[in-house]
């Protein structure tokens, strides 16, 4: 066994489609009716979070709303599915009161009021919605009280992060383009209707809200430096990219240079994407960036970035070199076989528990009639899983169980161990189609550990905290994020594959905002909770 772990060639990563049996009947609509509004293409993300604190992740899907001139017999709305265990889910949308009927784009979950409950922020085309978790299975709309409606804009991803280490989660709200219904232009190409491009519209500022700690937020977009630039935000992820103890922000922009906001530790940011090598791909091309996720794919202690993009653009893997990044897509094979396709949701996870992070990518074109114009790509495409073998990625989708036969136009994907078996499962939101719920049935006997960070004072879920897991010669790192991938959220419970190792020797936590903690000698194959300044205990499972 090496420091990377070894993937067993004979036990491929396998996903089984559990949608029909799961009780998840969510069907996404893009809100259009043949008028081809650009916003139809970018809806939507989804959220895996434990809203009822029962120890397993529940599913919250975003949906679009009818666009001008479009009517639906049943108005589309967002949906919350409670995880009942055993891969069974129950639609609790109405009871929970989170069935927003706005035009959903991005979503994230975070405990903004430090009551130990995860709240929800929904980023719409139109007014946004902030749902406070009441702790009894219901939510309350606190958008006005918190002052976070964000006007009437076209949203994108959302992040909860603690910009200044004060223990109160702040809120980063992505904005895509400056658009109103009346600015829409109908396009067609040789009689085939097609969607326009974000280049036809003005880019927009993103919004940063600072949490005052009293249930309200202050718009600090300008004073924080975030407002110094305008982009076409889509997917985003916050992490300590320069390993200096504070949280930075990566924003993927559509057909423009990406942003990397470097935090000075006090919540003031400088945009340094060009200097640090993540504004463009390795060629210097501004990609049509879609989603972004980060993880330490090469186990060197630095968080790397993965970004999806458009047809005829390779998804990009940026290796973090410390002071800058390098596009290592080609030497690592991280582009898989995705060059012909528009790629969307993406996420790192160790699907085969071999001790390194694999990649899952959702794909599908924006134009539903693209095959009439271009047969080198497709509107509906099977999603991909790229297995990490010693830092090289191999597209193993063809042997990944039901994955190759599930052909849709995916937008958001989210990853979580939904059934508590230590294997990371997948939920995919498919544009204008039913969602997919996939169970990871990879059989290789590898071991694992999952970690929930908790603290009792502030930042209760440890967002931004960094964890180092040592098991024998295998050393892995991760960080707690809130908001990632394609305008989605998942993964506050950290998951580490351990290969053949049956115990973890040491877990070192660098708590965001200060403090280091070490716990030792933890048996593998369990989910544990580490309390700040306390020990570890097995987590509650749903």
Partner 1 sequence: MPEPVPYPALPEPLTGDWMKSQAEEEARRLAEAFADDVEALDLQAAVHRLSGRSDEAVETWKRCLVLRPDFLRAYVPMISIARRKGDYAEAERLCRECLRLDPLQVEARGLLAAVLFEQGQYDAAIETVLAGYAIGAVDAEALFFQGQAYQKKQEHEKAAAALREAIRLEPNYTRAYYALSVSLSRLGRKEEAAEVRAKFRELQGREMAANAAILEVESEEFVRRTVASVFQRAGEIWATRGRSEDAERCWLFAAVLVPDDPAPRLKLGTLYQSLNRPGRVLGLLDELGPLELRDPELLRARGLLFLRSGRRNEAERDFRAWIEAAPQSADAYSLLAQTYLTMGHKKSEALRAADAAVRLAPTKENLLVLAVACAETGDRDSALRIAQQLLQRDPQSPEAHRLYEMLRGGNR
Residues that bind partner 1 (CB under 8 A): 187-192, 194, 196-197, 199-200, 256, 274, 277, 280, 282-286, 312, 314, 324, 330-333, 335, 337-340, 371-376
Smallest distance from the beta carbon of 383 to partner 1, in angstroms? Answer: 15
Task: Give the dihedral sign, CA 139/144/146/148.
Answer: positive
Smallest distance from the beta carbon of 366 to partner 1, in angstroms? Answer: 14
Smallest distance from the beta carbon of 339 to partner 1, in angstroms? Answer: 4
Q: Answer for the pair 49, 37: CB distance below 8 angstroms, yes or no.
A: no
Smallest distance from the beta carbon of 340 to partner 1, in angstroms? Answer: 5
Q: Which is nearer to partner 1, 140 or 392 (CB)?
A: 392
Q: Which is nearer to partner 1, 373 or 518 (CB)?
A: 373
Smallest distance from the beta carbon of 398 to partner 1, in angstroms? Answer: 14
Smallest distance from the beta carbon of 170 to partner 1, in angstroms? Answer: 31
Smallest distance from the beta carbon of 260 to partner 1, in angstroms? Answer: 15
Q: Answer for the pair 282, 329: CB distance below 8 angstroms, yes or no.
A: yes
Q: Answer for the pair 218, 209: CB distance below 8 angstroms, yes or no.
A: yes
Q: Which is nearer to partner 1, 40 or 56 (CB)?
A: 40
Distance CA 134, CA 142 (A): 11
Annotate 271-310 with b (16+ C-beta within 10 A) or e (fewer). Answer: bbbeebbbbbbeeeebbbbbbbbbbbbbbeebbbbbbbbb
Q: Which is nearer to partner 1, 144 or 312 (CB)?
A: 312
Q: In what order do the strands lie in the sheet with 88-91?
A: 46-49, 58-61, 79-85, 88-91
Instruction: Please state the separation of Cα 489 from the chain's center in Å.
Output: 4
**Tokens 């968080």 belong to which residue?**
303
Q: Which is nearer to partner 1, 197 or 216 (CB)?
A: 197
Smallest distance from the beta carbon of 254 to partner 1, in angstroms? Answer: 13
Smallest distance from the beta carbon of 379 to partner 1, in angstroms? Answer: 13
| Nearest one of 41, 60, 33 to 364, comparing CA atoms | 41
Distance CA 331, CA 35 (A): 42
Q: Which is nearer to partner 1, 289 or 459 (CB)?
A: 289
For the chain, give the number of residues: 542
Q: Which is nearer to partner 1, 326 or 441 (CB)?
A: 326
Q: Which is nearer to partner 1, 136 or 323 (CB)?
A: 323
Q: Answer for the pair 437, 414: CB distance below 8 angstroms, yes or no.
A: no
Q: Tell me the helices (H) and strands (E) count for the chain, helix number first.
A: 5, 42
Distance CA 34, CA 182 (A): 16
H-helix or E-strand spanning residue 530: strand 526-531
| Collapsed DSSP state (helix, strand, coil) of residue 236 | strand
Token digits of residue 320: 């973090």
Smallest distance from the beta carbon of 71 to partner 1, in angstroms? Answer: 28
For the chain, the first-to-last Cα distance in angstroms comes to 33
Q: Which is nearer to partner 1, 114 or 397 (CB)?
A: 397
């Amino acid at each position: 066994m090496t420091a990377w772990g070894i993937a067993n060639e004979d036990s491929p990563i396998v996903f089984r489609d559990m949608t029909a049996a799961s009780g998840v009947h969510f069907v996404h609509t893009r809100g259009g009716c043949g008028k081809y509004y650009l916003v139809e293409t970018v809806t939507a993300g989804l959220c895996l979070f434990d809203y009822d604190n029962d120890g397993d992740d529940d599913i919250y899907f975003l949906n679009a709303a009818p666009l001008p001139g479009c009517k639906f017999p049943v108005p589309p709305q967002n949906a919350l599915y409670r995880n009942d265990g055993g891969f069974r889910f129950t639609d609790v949308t109405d009871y929970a009161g989170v069935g927003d009927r706005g035009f959903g784009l991005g979503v994230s979950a975070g405990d903004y009021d430090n009551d130990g409950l995860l709240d929800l922020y929904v980023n719409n085309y139109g007014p946004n919605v902030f749902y406070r978790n009441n702790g009894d299975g219901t939510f309350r709309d606190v958008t006005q009280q918190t002052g976070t409606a964000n006007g009437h804009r076209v949203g994108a991803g959302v992040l909860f992060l603690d910009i200044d280490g004060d223990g109160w989660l702040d809120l980063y709200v992505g904005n895509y383009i400056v658009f109103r219904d009346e600015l829409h232009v109908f396009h067609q190409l040789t009689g085939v209707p097609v969607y326009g491009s974000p280049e036809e519209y003005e880019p927009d500022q993103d919004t940063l809200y600072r949490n005052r700690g009293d249930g309200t937020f202050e718009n600090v977009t300008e004073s924080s430096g975030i407002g110094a630039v305008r982009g076409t935000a889509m997917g985003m992820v916050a992490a300590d990219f320069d390993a200096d103890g504070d949280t930075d922000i990566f924003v993927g922009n559509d057909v423009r240079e990406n942003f990397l906001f470097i935090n000075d530790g006090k919540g003031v940011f400088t945009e340094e994407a060009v200097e640090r090598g993540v504004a463009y791909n390795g060629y210097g091309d501004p990609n049509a960036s879609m989603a972004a996720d980060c993880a330490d794919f090469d186990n060197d202690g630095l968080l790397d970035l993965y970004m999806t993009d458009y047809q005829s653009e390779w998804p990009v893997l940026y290796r973090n070199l410390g002071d800058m990044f390098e596009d290592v897509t080609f030497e690592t094979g991280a582009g898989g076989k995705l060059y012909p396709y528009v790629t969307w949701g993406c996420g790192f996870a160790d699907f085969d528990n071999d001790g390194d992070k694999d990649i899952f990518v959702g794909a599908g074109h924006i134009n539903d009639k693209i095959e009439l114009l271009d047969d080198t790509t497709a509107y509906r495409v099977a999603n991909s899983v790229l297995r990490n073998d010693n830092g090289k990625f191999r597209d193993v989708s063809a042997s990944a169980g039901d994955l190759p036969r599930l052909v849709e136009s995916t937008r958001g994907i989210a990853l979580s161990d939904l059934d508590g078996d230590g294997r990371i499962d997948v939920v995919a939101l498919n544009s204008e189609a039913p969602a997919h719920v996939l169970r990871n049935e990879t059989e290789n006997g590898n071991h694992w550990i999952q970690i929930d960070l908790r603290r009792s004072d502030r930042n209760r879920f440890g967002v931004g905290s960094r964890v180092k897991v040592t098991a024998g010669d295998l050393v892995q790192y991760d960080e707690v994020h809130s908001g990632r991938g394609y305008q989605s959220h998942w993964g506050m419970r950290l998951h580490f594959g351990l290969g053949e190792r049956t115990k973890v020797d040491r877990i070192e936590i660098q708590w965001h905002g200060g403090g280091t903690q070490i716990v030792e000698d933890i048996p593998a194959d369990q989910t544990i909770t580490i309390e700040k300044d306390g020990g570890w205990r097995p987590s509650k499972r749903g």
